[in-house]
């Protein structure tokens, strides 16, 4: 059961200069959010760039955040 508490960030999707999604920077992005008190994220949500992503790209972004969440849960 999910209970929303504290700050929840609507994340942006990072891109390379070439316009490709850049999931490699998501761990640093997650660390930044955690260091600033954000405990939850809303991925592929309301920021708008998700509409220009393919289903596969959206899946890659979600999988990157899920990987981070699994590491965070295991370390806390």
Average pLDDT over residues 58-62: 94
Distance between CA atoms of residues 49 and 33, nearest Å: 20
**Domain, as residue range, for 16:** 7-75
Give the integer Cα–Cα distance in Å for 12 and 27.
13
**Reported confidence tier of residue 29, pLDDT bands at 50, 70, 90:** very high
Q: Distance (Å, rounded) from C-alpha 55 to C-alpha 42? A: 17
Confidence of residue 75 (pLDDT cuts 50, 70, 90): low
Average pLDDT over residues 4-19: 88
State the average pLDDT for the chain: 87
Q: How many domains is the chain partitioned into structurally?
A: 1
Q: Please state, in angstroms and rounded to a whole number, the distance separating the CA atoms of residues 51 and 2.
A: 26
Inside any domain, residue 1: no
Residue 2, in any domain of the structure = no
Task: Report pLDDT for 74.
Answer: 56
């Amino acid at each position: 059961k999910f209970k929303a508490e504290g700050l929840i960030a609507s994340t942006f999707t990072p891109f390379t200069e070439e316009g490709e999604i850049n999931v490699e920077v998501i761990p640093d992005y997650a660390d930044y959010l955690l260091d600033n008190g954000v405990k939850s994220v809303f991925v592929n949500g309301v920021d708008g760039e998700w509409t220009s992503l393919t289903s596969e790209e959206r899946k890659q972004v979600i999988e990157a955040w899920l990987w981070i969440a699994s590491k965070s849960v295991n370390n806390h």
